[in-house]
Structure 1
Amino acid sequence: MTLTGLFVPLITPFDPEGAVAFDALESLARRLLTEGADGLVALGTTGEPGSLTEAERQAVIDIAARVCRERDAKLLVGANTPQALEDLRGRGEVHAALTVVPPFVRPGEAGAVAYLTQLAANSPVPLVIYHVPYRTGQTLSASALTQLGSLPNVIGVKYAAGGITEDTIALMADLPPDFAVLGGDDLFISPSLALGAHGAILASAHLATADFAALITAWRTGDLATARPLGHRLSRLSQTLFAEPNPSVIKAALHASGRIPTPAVRLPLLPASRDALAAALTW
């Protein structure tokens, strides 16, 4: 069955002493599912996984897994190496790994496809390829993603190519069976859904969660009268939340609304500016 719906990539809240606020994370996870998310992502980019210790990362997965199990929701976990994937073995709550195209190395399309093919062959859980070339420096064409999507252990792609391109249209026009396209460019999620994306992985959906869920439903049911104006409105929210490096503004807005104990991020990120927070609260 093709993966569909709204997935929220969890932020990692910190307490006033700088430690992970695990109670706040659990409360946030429950609230997102209550407000309409179909699933969660643990240790995605939004969760600042590179600044967490291994013990913190495992605790984040434990909390997300427990909440998703109780709510019968799907859980994706960011895992980009053979060892990180192997660490997911035996975790029955993990529906799939969110696996980024190899960053920084820029191995070329053929090298990236070969690497991801090998990861998929050995992974104990299915992969959702995270295609985000403005972060990785490596673009994959529609044909490369289609090739990966034809593998038995690859079930989807988080598609964050930086907008709607010819490759976007080519990919959507010729998808492998049961291969899900989950929109990952928050600003462009409405046109992505209009082209046929099956759902979305959206950091912006920490706020207005029910509205983002309704947007996905509206496009998938053909309710254009709802989808078009709602998509325009939510794009303005996404613009404000990504005005500064993610997840600084999202954390500031969640703190301002009383959902997490501090707006803190860990270096190399910096806290959101007052102007960015003000814009996010008045979108």
Structure 2
Amino acid sequence: MTSLHGLFVPLITPFTADGTLATEALQRHAHAVLDAGASGLVALGTTAEPSALTAAERAQVLDICAAVCAERGAALIACAGGNATADSIRAIAALPYPVTAVLAVVPYYVRPSEEGVIAHFTAVAAASPAPVLVYDVPYRTARPLSGPTLVRLAETPNIAGFKHAVGGIGASTVELMARAGTRTTVLCGDDRFASALLALGAHGAILAAANLAPAAYAALVDAWRTGDLARGRALGHQLDAVGAAVFAEPNPTVIKAALAARGEIPSAAVRLPLLPASGESAEAALAACAALRPEPSRRAEA
């Protein structure tokens, strides 16, 4: 098991009003989420709109995130790979090392068999210079994985664990945690189910909504990880409104609109095929964040 515990923020990619990469804003935002208690950063996740970035822009984003993490002594998870095994291996090899871990998605669109998924990740992990996290997100990949497959992946050399984002807590999740949760790293990837998965023993989280409320999400992870159950429940209930508001429109449109409204990035711009979030969605997200109330640690009171 790796030491990938805590909150990891999958950073947005801020743009200027004319649509160019806002590098200074990205650097400030990266430092801000670490200042708020995040354990590390995730570069070029779905929230970063990587498919809409040029190769040069993706390299800039990685360089900025790597520099911030090196300066702060924070973990960097870099996203690489896709639905072709050979291309995934080449993409991982091209990453600027060292990175703490590589986040590689379950092959999408082609819908391989579960045996094919295992073969894919066995090859990717064998070729990767860094530990691999399996990004299991079936509502994007159309390839759900069973509990036995997840357990087999957990036992594969150089696979450090999972970003588990399966849209709920079902039998496969319970089986993963019961059979492999003590020897692999499981990071929650569904914002609205983070508290529930942490209660089952997940080691941390990769949460898009943490771009807006990093301190509260860091506190949520810490509460469950340290056994402060009452605080964890209370924070989970509060943060559900944030998660619901953030995903009212396609990610990361609401996050960017809210950050721009707070003056933390220069614009709410996204790139096609995404469209900017509505004002109503941005206001709902801002209101949910403003309503957060820190929960005192019950352990500290004891």
Shorter-normalised TM range: over 0.9
Alignment equivalent of 2:225, drawn from 220, 227, 231:
220
Are the counterparts in 2 of residues 155 and 178 from structure 1 also a CA contact under 8 Å?
no
1:74 aligns with 2:75: yes
Corresponding residue of 1:51: 52
SS of alignment partner, residue 180 of structure 2: coil
Amino acid at match of 2:111: R
> What are the residue-to-residue correspondences of 1:252-271 with 2, within 5 Å?
252-271=257-276
Are the counterparts in 1 of residues 31 and 68 from structure 2 also a CA contact under 8 Å?
yes
Q: CA deviation at 1:125?
A: 1.4
Alignment equivalent of 2:212, drawn from 207, 213, 216:
207
Residue by residue over 1:125-150, the C-alpha shift from the partner in whole angstroms, topping out at 9 and shown as x without a partner, is 11100000000000111211111111
Aligned equivalents of 1:82, 1:51: Cα separation in 2: 21
Aligned equivalents of 1:68, 1:183: Cα separation in 2: 21
Q: CA deviation at 1:259?
A: 0.6
Alignment equivalent of 1:247, drawn from 246, 252, 263:
252
Structure 1 unpaired stretches of 5+: none
1:154 aligns with 2:159: yes
Amino acid at match of 1:45: T
1:127 aligns with 2:132: yes
Are the counterparts in 2 of residues 2 and 155 from structure 1 also a CA contact under 8 Å?
no
Are the counterparts in 2 of residues 100 and 131 from structure 1 also a CA contact under 8 Å?
yes
Residue by residue over 1:194-222, the C-alpha shift from the partner in whole angstroms, topping out at 9 and shown as x without a partner, is 01110000010011211111111111111
Corresponding residue of 1:29: 30
Residue by residue over 1:218-273, the C-alpha shift from the partner in whole angstroms, topping out at 9 and shown as x without a partner, is 11111122111110000110000000000000000110111100000000111001
Are the counterparts in 1 of residues 253 and 275 from structure 2 also a CA contact under 8 Å?
yes
Q: CA deviation at 1:176?
A: 6.2
Corresponding residue of 2:296: none
Corresponding residue of 1:231: 236
Corresponding residue of 1:83: 90
Aligned equivalents of 1:133, 1:176: Cα separation in 2: 20
Corresponding residue of 1:97: 102
Residue by residue over 1:41-96, the C-alpha shift from the partner in whole angstroms, topping out at 9 and shown as x without a partner, is 000000000000000001100000000000000000110111110102x612x111
* TM-score normalised by length of structure 1: 0.97
Structure 2 unpaired stretches of 5+: 82-87, 289-302
Q: Which runs of 4+ in 1 moved over 6 A?
A: none
Q: CA deviation at 1:178?
A: 3.9
Q: CA deviation at 1:177?
A: 5.4
Alignment equivalent of 2:112, drawn from 88, 104, 107:
107
Single out whichever of 47-56 and 144-153 deviates more from structure 2: 144-153
* TM-score normalised by length of structure 2: 0.91
